[in-house]
Chain A
Amino acid sequence: MSSPIADREQPRWRLSLDEWAVAAGLLLAILVRFGLLKRVPW
């Protein structure tokens, strides 16, 4: 995807902060769902 305002943006192949956060959240959800992380305490 070409950037609408190109010169201050990072290359597309790098994950943005938001994308990292979504990836981390989904990974943790998968770990919890499949029992690899059980009963996380608080």
Chain B
Amino acid sequence: MASSLTLTQPVATAPRRFIQLLPGIALLAGIGYAGKFVEATVNGYVRLHHLTAPNIEYVLWAILFGLIVSNTVGIAQVFRPGVATYEFWLKTGIVLLGARFLLGDVLRLGGVSLALVAIEIVLSIAFMTALGRWFGLKPKLTSLLAVGSAICGVSAIIAAQGAIDADDEDASFAIAAILALGALSLFTFPLIGHALHLSDHGYGLWAGLAVDNTAEATAAGALYSDAAARIAVLAKTTRNALIGFVVLAYAIYWANRGQARAVTNRAAFLWQKFPKFVLGFLLISLLASAGVFSKDEIGSLANLSRWAFLLTFAGVGLRTNFSDLKKQGARPFLVGAIGEIAIALLSLGLVLVAVRLNLL
């Protein structure tokens, strides 16, 4: 999905492509705003009548409304190109979120994240590979599941699929498993975080380390708190930044076995796979740290980031179709589920150790 945004497909002239995006973007905005409206209405009603009720964030409402639309009436063809832009909004939101981080914080928290991410990646790949072999999955499907769970879900699977010449079917299996588990994490992670009384920092780091797809990691963080969402995005972005190294390692592994094309230029390969939006995030953070923006301007950039995320969360619900997931079969899903639960527990352990050592 990372490279398949309709904006880049040679299907029509630029103005026509832009017009084709509008219905879907309007649907994202409508569903996202409905989530925000319902949150405000419910909270207002609860306050007015002095009731006690849990605060259900707009994030969850937007995802729920998206899920309902996707799994009942479905998404008409006219909306599909625009709905596919949810990842563009996610990345734009992350770039703008850079305004809320001082570069020193990014380097400090990013450094802690990087150390935890490195441990998480090694253990995740080892565990998923062993699990895939144990369940008798095809080796390349196992590789895709390992890359998807260790790094960043759908984008990593697509990047790895091209690099190791895996089948489209294997990639679909791996993507379906990662998306289904990502959807489940939205409902389970906040509950576990609250049960364990995790701080915003601790929870955000856990969500960023353990939830595989960037959109779901951001949403899982936002479901806990605004501060947790920021930390989740930072930890997840650190994971994303390492995508090239892991995919390169797999490309070399499969090329050495004669089952993928050799990588001729490793530096170019790394640059090509590097998620460029990370550079945009760092640039905006650098400008904010240098005092380029006033306090009001930083507030405006943070709000623009929230609006962009609102469209993303609607897209998370809209692109999750349970019947499509069911078609992919149980075995890859089972391997993914066992692996993800183990990785979530492992990441939680890493975070708790980091909290105990006062690293956060």
Contacts and interface: CB of A to CB of B under 8 A. Distances in A.
Interface in A14-42: 14-22, 24-26, 28-29, 32-33, 37-42
A40 B287 CA distance: 19
B261 interface: yes
A11 to B, nearest CB: 9
B96 A25 contact: yes
A26 B3 contact: no
A18 B276 contact: yes
Given A10-B8, A28-B304, A33-B293, A1 B268 contact: yes
Contact of A39 (B2, B277, B293, B296): B296
B259 to A, nearest CB: 14
Residue from B2, B3, B251, B293 whose CB has the most chain A CB atoms within 10 Å: B3
Contacts of B246: none
B280 A40 contact: no
Contacts of B2: 17-18
A19 B297 contact: no
Interface stretch (B22-30, B86-94, B138-146): B86-94
B269 to A, nearest CB: 4
B352 interface: no
Contact of A42 (B263, B283, B303): B303
Contact of B280 (A2, A5, A10, A21): A21
Contacts of B261: 5
A4 B268 contact: yes
Q: Interface residues of A toward B: which range?
A: 20 to 34
Interface residues of B, number: 44
Contacts of B176: none
B276 A22 contact: yes
A9 B8 CA distance: 11
A21 B300 contact: no
B92 A25 contact: yes
B7 interface: yes
B300 A40 contact: yes
B215 to A, nearest CB: 13
A13 B293 CA distance: 32
A21 B8 contact: no
Contacts of A17: 2-3, 5, 7-8, 87-88, 91
Interface in B69-119: 87-88, 91-92, 94-96, 98-99
A28 B88 contact: no
B304 A16 contact: no
B265 interface: yes
A23 B161 CA distance: 27
Given A5-B263, A9-B272, A33-B293, A25 B7 contact: no
B264 A4 contact: yes
Contacts of A19: 276
B41 to A, nearest CB: 16
Contacts of A32: 293, 297, 300-301, 304
A5 B56 CA distance: 46
A8 B303 contact: no
B193 interface: no
A26 B92 CA distance: 9
11 contacts: A1-B268, A4-B264, A9-B162, A15-B7, A18-B277, A20-B5, A22-B280, A26-B280, A29-B284, A32-B300, A40-B301
Interface of B: 2-3, 5, 7-8, 87-88, 91-92, 94-96, 98-99, 162-163, 251, 261, 263-266, 268-269, 272, 275-277, 279-280, 283-284, 287, 292-293, 296-297, 299-301, 303-304, 306-307
Top 3 closest A-B pairs, CB basis? A25-B95, A21-B91, A22-B280
